[in-house]
Amino acid sequence: MKKFLFIAFILILSGVNAFALPFVKKETTEIYTQAEQYQEVTQQANVLYAENNINQAKDLLLSIPENQRTAQNWLLIGNILQDQGKSDEAVFMYKKAVSVNDEYYKAYYNLGNIYLSENKPNMAAEQYSKVVKLNPDYAYGHYNLACAYIKLGKYSKAKFELYNAIDLKSSEPDFYYNLIYILKKQNKEKEAKKYIEIYNKLTGENV
């Protein structure tokens, strides 16, 4: 059995996302209404980001006064900085996003992704816990929370989150792969075998 995998998906605001990430009404509610002229700038920046013109997108977003930036604006600036390998600056932007809207789960999710990639599973778990509380139907929030728990050796908690993830999205092989890893760690070979069969059907592989 090879080592467990984790996938830290970065949320993209452009709408071009292979995983069709779910949206909830509360995430679009900002503390204030952005001025009309800056809404147009935001839309242009989103299009540029989707076209991978990240420097132009960042310049447009930074042209919006800070007191007019939405949580979405701060998040996209953070995504651009993370794309450029500037994780510390990205963290700052994600924190600015939640200061504008403390229910904006995408920012917590991206913070968790950075902390998990930096091998800070306690901090990652804290962020992912906020994600699943705000959006309990977000399968990848449960999955990445499970990955953080695996790194912490909290296998029972990780297993619980993986079951939640599978209930929400039963076609994702990585969910089963990590669940199999945990069950084997817990010497539950019979239960693991059931999920190995599902994993093999989904991937056409044998583990």
For the chain of 207 residues, list the mean pLDDT of each consecutive stretch of 10: 42 34 38 74 95 96 95 97 96 98 98 97 98 98 98 97 98 97 96 96 83
| Structure confidence by residue, pLDDT tens digits, 131-158 | 999 999 999 999 999 999 999 999 999 9
| Structure confidence by residue, pLDDT tens digits, 85-101 | 999 999 999 999 999 99
> Looking at the structure, do residues 143 and 167 belong to the same domain, yes or no?
yes
> Looking at the structure, do residues 131 and 83 belong to the same domain, yes or no?
no
Nearest to 107 by CA among 120, 119, 90, 88: 90
**For residues 132 and 141, is the Cβ–Cβ distance under 8 A?**
yes
Cα-Cα end-to-end distance for the chain: 7
Residue 59: which CATH number?
A: 1.25.40.10
> Looking at the structure, do residues 153 and 85 belong to the same domain, yes or no?
no
Q: How many domains does the chain have?
A: 2
> 43: Cβ–Cβ under 8 A, 6 or more apart, which residues?
none
> Looking at the structure, do residues 119 and 40 belong to the same domain, yes or no?
no
Angle formed at CA 19 by CA 173 and CA 128, multiple of 5 degrees: 80
> Looking at the structure, do residues 118 and 74 belong to the same domain, yes or no?
no
Query: Does residue 206 lie within any of the structural domains?
Result: yes
> Looking at the structure, do residues 69 and 160 belong to the same domain, yes or no?
no
pLDDT at 176: 97
Instruction: Write down which residue in 48, 73, 102 finishes a domain.
Output: 102
Query: Does residue 15 lie within any of the structural domains?
Result: no
Structural domain for 81, as ranges: 35-102
> Looking at the structure, do residues 121 and 186 belong to the same domain, yes or no?
yes
